[in-house]
Each structure stands twice: as structure tokens, then as C-alpha cells.
Structure 1
């Protein structure tokens, strides 16, 4: 009797926890036209901004591909299972982090809105914080 009750409780907990494991998707957040601030308040050059982005990406394990002046593609691979790609557009005064692609992140497009696993927004927010920190060092 005791083992039957234990088995029923175990099965109930597994059934109830399954929705928690299957995270629902959320809208992918694009961060447009983020104003650039330096610690001294002085204007930065495009090359300063580019270097800050590259340094911040490296700190967060993102790989970088330069496409053309003012554009970088940043790619993050997590546990060789999940991949996200962000297009970074930048100038001396602002930068943007825009969804570019993903693998194994529950991507879906509904009514012209991109939905994705919530960790996408978390990882992009961490990249933004690192970029802002690096810009303040210039």
C-alpha cells in the first residue's frame, strides 16, 4: 500500500512538472537605436564602438563575423544544442541588436511577430549590458 501511494505521488509530480519543462515562447525583443554613452561624455568613433562590441561579445562567448562597416553578426552557441544569431548595426552614436536567426529555440512567426524561447531575450540582454559596460570604459 505504501509503495503504491509513493508510486502515485511520483507519477503525479511528473505529470504536473511537464508543463514547466516545456517553456512557452515569448516575443523576440529587438533593441533598436540604443544611445551610446562614454564615461567621459566625449564622442566616440565608429571603430571605438566596434571594438567595444567585439570585446563584449567575446566576454559572453559570442562569435563575431564582420559583414560591412557598421554591421556585425554575433552568434551564440549554447551546449552545442542551441544557437542564436543577432545582427548588430552600429555607428558612433547608437547601436541596435536585431534578431537574425536561431536553431533549436522554438522560433515561430505569428502575425508578423517573432516568437522564441525566453532565453533568447535573456542572452541578448546580457550582451547589451556587456556592450554598455565596454562603451563606458572608452
Structure 2
């Protein structure tokens, strides 16, 4: 009986520690845009998606947008490069997101995935046209 209790306790500890893993590899987005869009339409889709998700977006030169998301005492900054045929969302900087060795808090990846999803919706729905 003691072996079963010890085994159960060991599984409980391992399970609890696995659930505490809050970091994941930094997600970098590289998306191809379907034909028929201009670079300005892709830019508009990115800016609209950022606005919807409460990212502060600012143009940082031709084909480049910087995005910053503030969530309580955390923030993330990304660099979005775009053209008529593709766009990329790349990690730039963060605060309080445990960024180290190519890993970051899972929330960052969720925020970037949501932004990417909304950009794709804007492009496919013609919202940027």
C-alpha cells in the first residue's frame, strides 16, 4: 500500500511541475499572402488587426510596422515586415515574459497567433481592400 501511495505522490508532483511550464519556444510568423493584394492592402490588414487586438502599431519605414502590446505589467514588442506577397511577425523585445534562450511565456505566442489570425481574416474577407 505504501508503494502505491508513494507512486501516486510522485505522479502528482510530476504532473504539478509539468503544469507549471509557462514558457514555450518563441513563435515567429511567416505567412504568404494570396495573389491579388497590394502592399498597402496588407499594411491596412495588419493595422486593423492590431487595433482590434489592442496592439499599438506604428510604421517604422517602408514595409515595416512595429507593434507593442501592454498587458498589465507585461509588454511585448514585435517587428512586422510585409509586402504584397507575404508578412512576418518577429519577436523584438518584452518585459516580464520570461524571455530567455529562445523561449518566452506562452501568452506571447497566444497574442501573436491571435494577431496573425486576425490579419489573415482581414485579408481573406477583403477588409483590407
Scaled to the shorter chain, the TM-score interval is: 0.7 to 0.9
For 1:77 and 1:23, locate their aligned partners in 2 and report how far apart those are by CA, in whole Å. Answer: 22
2:60 aligned counterpart, secondary structure: strand
For 1:84 and 1:19, locate their aligned partners in 2 and report how far apart those are by CA, in whole Å. Answer: 26
For 1:20 and 1:78, locate their aligned partners in 2 and report how far apart those are by CA, in whole Å. Answer: 25
2:75 aligned counterpart, secondary structure: strand
Structure 2 partner of 1:56: 49
For 1:73 and 1:22, locate their aligned partners in 2 and report how far apart those are by CA, in whole Å. Answer: 31
Q: TM-score, normalised by structure 1?
A: 0.75
- Among residues 37, 40, 43, which one is paired with 1:47 in the alignment? 40
**Matched residue count:** 114
State yes or no: 1:35 paired with 2:32: yes
CA displacement 1:63-94 (0-9 Å, x = unmatched): 01111111101111012x11011110100000
For 1:27 and 1:35, locate their aligned partners in 2 and report how far apart those are by CA, in whole Å. Answer: 22
Q: TM-score, normalised by structure 2?
A: 0.80
| Paired residues for 1:1-138 under 5 Å | 22-32=20-30, 34-37=31-34, 43-79=36-72, 81-109=73-101, 114-138=102-126
1:68 aligned counterpart, secondary structure: coil
Q: Where does the alignment leave 5 or more consecutive residues of structure 1 unmatched?
A: 1-17
Q: Which runs of 4+ in 1 moved over 3 A?
A: 18-24
Cα-Cα RMSD:
2.0
For 1:24 and 1:136, locate their aligned partners in 2 and report how far apart those are by CA, in whole Å. Answer: 33
Q: Where does the alignment leave 5 or more consecutive residues of structure 2 unmatched?
A: 1-15
Of structures 1 and 2, the larger Rg is shown by: 1
